[in-house]
Each structure stands twice: as structure tokens, then as C-alpha cells.
Amino acid sequence: MVFRYLQYIITWCKQRRASSSLTRRILAINLLVLIVPVGGFFFLESYQKRLIESEIESLKVQAEIFAGAVGALATKTSPILGHQIIPIRANIMLHRLTSITNTRVRLYGSNGILMADTQLFPISRGAVLIDELPPPDSEIGPGRWFVNQINNFLNWIPGQNKLPLYIEANPSNAENFEEVKVALFGEQAAAVRRHEPNGLIISVALPVQHYRQVIGALMVSNNGHKIEQAMRAIRLDILKIFTIALIITILLSLYLAGTIARPINRLAAAAEKVRTGHGRHVYIPDFTSRRDEIGELSRDLRGMTEALWQRMDAIEKFAADVSHEIKNPLTSLRSAVETVARISDIEKQKKLMAIILDDVQRLDRLISDISDASRLDAELSRDVPAPVNLRQLLEALTEIEKDTALNLKLSIYLFLEEGTDLIVSASEGRLGQVFLNIINNAISFSPPHTKIIIRAERRIKENGSFIRVSIEDEGPGIPEDKLASIFDRFYTDRSVNAKKDDSILLTHSGLGLSISKQIVEAADGHIWAENCYKNNLISGAIFIVELPAN
């Protein structure tokens, strides 16, 4: 794979000058990284200290647990000698506690004599010392010899040679470890020593107390093999980076400069397949994880393609809904026409002719609304937003609808916030269509001798200032589970349940609120419906439109 990349880079360099502006910039930025390996040597000692301090803190926590357990559960009280440690019980307890920690624990009595050691395996005639063997060499030959020479060089670097040498004394007592002697005086102590097989030995000693009486000392130790391995690894990594960074930087820079065009070509090919109509199986490559301009381009293309399929689904659904809605009045017309031809009763014929006339009017209104809805997206895209004074617009619409309301024994009231501009950026004609549709709905569903209240006011929110227009009626309200569905196309549930004149209800195609929602959202606004309550009963409906203030 590496040779394939090198071949690609060589081919790219032949096709494009290596001294291009993009390549020079990438090389200049990446070459600055070479300073980091050099400075890394100055921080190795502090890094090792932090690792040792972390290990000491871990051992302290273990030592406190072990010392507390021994002091509480492995002691006895003698009238003459006072509190004493029970060696056998303490030994069993410590072996069990350290079976999962892989640490060595030694317990010393108050006289400094070793009482328990988890690394000693007791047998019938003494004890066997258990020690961890270093890992065997996994390979031999020139490669292993070279690694050993590097390790010898790394060991020569100043560091742990300053530490005192660890000696495994036999027999062991408190005099061999300074930290144990400190612990016997009731203080905590820690020590770091150099150990030839495993590199480092880190130990922590704590007093074992029973009711504040020091009855012994407990030392927890662990080899620093992991710390030494970490230090060796980081030193070796720094040397590797320092020796080959220049080559890697140049190759990587050329590779980055050459592969920028590859994802763009893949995106272009996928876009071409979508354009030529290969269907939904076309996969737009996802490069959003790159978090750069190519990732943004990939995300936008995927979003655009998804929006295209959603639009096609909406068109398909709209066509199916149109077919369904037109069939209903056509079926009614067919039934009425067939029936009128078979009866001779004049009164029944008049009723059927009235039904036919209503169905024709309903079809006319439905076709007009369908035509408006089908052209809405294209017209909204052509509309140029302009400042719209909602104060003047609502006053004009209220005057227009007052006569219709009076004929139905309804009252319309308009309340506009004083002392503030009610101006938004939108198409005045479209907003007029929205408010007129909502007002007409309120008139249609309001019983006689009720009122319709229109309010407009400015609201301040976290994301800016908004103009809120609410239109409230005292009609039958809206089912709670239908508050969102009423904005779907051809929704007519409320028309069916409302007890109004059929001639008025038949003028509702179920497209008005859907069109209104599209217009409001095109102006970056929101529209929703709520119910009004009085004595815990629905007393009407309120439609709210919020638009960003200009």
C-alpha cells in the first residue's frame, strides 16, 4: 500500500509542479511540527515524575485499605501486651486482598520483624519466594540486536540511575526499608528505588493502628515495569519521529495536496448520477467526518439530495390526495344525477339539484385551491420580501370582514399594541392571504352572537424580536390530538364536526391552513393552533402567527 501511495504521489508530481502554492503552504505548516520532537526531551523527566506520583497515590489508597482491614480484623488484645496482630489471619487476609491487585504487601510487627509477605508462598517446611519473570525475547537476529542497542542507548540517558538500588534482604526487617521505620512511628512514607530486572520498585508504608495504637507497619510495593516501558517507548518514539519526520512530512504533504481532488471527483460523479435519473440507489459519499470544506460540501449535497427525494414524495402524495378529494364530490354528483333521473317528485328533485350545485361549487373551490397550492412553491421562490406594516394590513382586513361577520351576527375586535412598530419582512399579499384565511375560518366556525378577537404585539425572545398575531374565536375548538394535523393538506375534520350552515362549510377545501403554513414558514415564521378553555371546557380556538420583526 505504501508503494502504491508513493507511485500516486510521483504521478501527481509529474502532472503538477511540486512548487505550487497549495503544496508550499502544506509543507511550511507541517515542517513546523519537527520542532515538537526536539522539545520533547526536555519534558521527559517531569513526565516520569508524574507517572511515579500517580503510582504512589494508587499504592497509598491500597495501603490504607489493607492497613485498615488488618487493624480491624486481624488483631487480638492481651491484658499484658495490649493490642497485637494475629500473623496467620493477617497473612490469609492479605493474600486474598492482593490476589487481584498484583501488588506485593509486607506486614511488619511493632518490633520491625516481618510477619507476612504476599510474595512468599508458605509450604510445610518454609516459604517460596514468588517473583515475576521478565518477558522472553520474542525474536532473535539483527533486528533484535538493533532494538537492544537502542535500549542501551536510552538507558544511558540520565534519569533513574540517580535512584538508590533496591536490595532483597533475607531475612527482611524494618531496618532494610526507611519508609517502614517511619511508618512504625505513625507516619506515612514512600520510596522509589532502582531494581535491575524490572527497572523500578515503588513502595508505600503506612502504620497499622488499632484505636490509634501503632501495632505494626504495612508496606505495599509494585515494580515500575510499566513506567519504565512507557519511558522507553516515548524516548524511542521521539527518536523515530526526529529521524524520519522530514520524509514523512514531505510525503504526507504531497499526499494531502494530491488527494483533495479525489473526494470532490466522487461527489461530482454521484451528483451526475442523480441528475441523469439513476434513482434513489445512488449513494452520495459521506465525508462529513473530515470536518473541512469537503465535509461541508458532502453534507450539503447529501442534504440537497434528501430534500429532493422528500419533495418528490410530497408531490406524489399531493397527487394522490388530489385524486382522492376530487373523487368525493364526483361520486356525490354521479349519485345525485342518477337519482334525479329516476324520481318524479319535484321537491326531491330540487333537493338533489341543490346537492349537485353544492358539489359543483365545492369542485370549483377545490380545483382553485389545488391550483394555488401547486403554484405556491414556485411563486414563493419568486417573491421578494419587503417591509410589511401589520398594523395597516390587519386594520384593512378587519374592515373587509366586518360586514360578513355582522350578517352572521358576529363581532370582530382588533387590538394592536400601541407605541411600537409592527413591521415584518415578507410578501404583503401572501401575509394578507394567511390572515384572511384564518379570519374566514373563525367566522365559519363561530356560533351567532359571539366575538372574534384579533391581537398583534411585539415579543422579545432569546433569538430576537418577533411580531405575534393571534386570532381567537368562540367556536367548537379543535380536538387536542388534531392541533398539528389541521395544517395537513385536505384536513376537514373540524368542518364535519362544526354545526354550521352547509353552504359555508362546503367552501372549505382543507388546503387553506396548509397553504398558510407554507407561506409563514417561507417568511421564517411559525404558525400553530391552541384551544381556549373556560371552566375546564373548550370555549374556542386561537391561531397564532409569529414572524421575525423587521
Strand ordering across the sheet containing 537-548: 411-416, 451-461, 464-472, 537-548, 526-534
Q: What confidence tier does 391 reach under pLDDT thresholds 50, 70, 90?
A: very high
Cross-strand pairs, 121 = 128
Which CATH code for domain 384-548? 3.30.565.10
Residue 157 has pLDDT above 50, yes or no: yes
- Position 134 scores a pLDDT of 52
- Tell me the per-residue pLDDT of 79-137, one tens digit each, with 9 for 90 and over: 776 778 888 888 888 888 888 777 899 999 888 889 888 887 654 444 555 555 555 55
What was the pLDDT predicted at 11?
55
Question: Residues 514-531: what's their mean pLDDT?
Answer: 90
pLDDT of residue 547: 94
Element holding 202 (H helix, E strand): strand 199-210
Contact (CB, 8 A) for 192 and 201: yes
Q: What is the pLDDT of residue 345?
A: 81
For 460-479, the pLDDT digits (tens) are: 888 889 999 999 999 999 98
pLDDT at 286 over 70: yes
222 strand-pairing partners = 202
Least confident segment among 44-53, 320-329, 331-340? 320-329
- pLDDT, tens digit, for every residue of 344-365? 888 888 888 888 887 788 787 7
pLDDT band at 423 (very low <50, low <70, confident <90, very high): very high
According to the CATH classification, is domain 62-130+160-232 in 3.30.450.20?
yes
Mean pLDDT of 3-25: 50
pLDDT of residue 227: 82
Task: For cell 372574534, name the residue.
Answer: 452
The residues with which 114 forms a beta bridge, in sequence order, are 108
DSSP string of 442-496? HHHHPPTT-EEEEEEEEEEETTEEEEEEEEE--SS---GGGTTGGGSTT--HHHH
pLDDT tens digits along 253-274: 777 766 776 777 788 888 888 7
Q: At what angle do helices 428-445 and 512-522 cross, to 10 degrees?
A: 150
Say if residue 248's pLDDT is above 80: no
pLDDT bin (cut points 50, 70, 90) of residue 385 is: confident
Structure confidence at residue 38 (pLDDT): 62
Q: What percent of the chain lies above the pLDDT cut of 70? A: 79
pLDDT the model gives residue 317: 74
Residue 198 has pLDDT above 80, yes or no: no
Averaged pLDDT of the chain: 79
pLDDT at 366: 76
Residues 441-460: pLDDT tens digits? 899 889 999 999 999 999 98
Beta bridge partners of 287: none
Lowest mean pLDDT among 63-67, 179-183, 503-507: 503-507
Tell me the C-alpha distance between 405 and 400, whole Å. Answer: 10
What does pTM read for this prediction? 0.46
Asked if pLDDT for residue 18 goes beyond 50, the answer is no
Q: How confident is the model at residue 498 (pLDDT cuts 50, 70, 90)?
A: very low
**Is 70 exceeded by the pLDDT of residue 312?**
yes
Q: Is the pLDDT of residue 71 over 70?
A: yes
Residue 338, CA distances (Å) to 174, 354, 443, 506 in order = 115, 14, 35, 22
Quote the CA–CA distance of 412 and 403 in Å, as a whole number.
Answer: 10
Give the domain ranges of the chain: 62-130+160-232, 384-548
C-alpha span between 36 and 245 (Å, rounded) = 10
* Residue 353 identity (one-letter amino acid): M
- Mean pLDDT calculated for residue range 195-209: 82
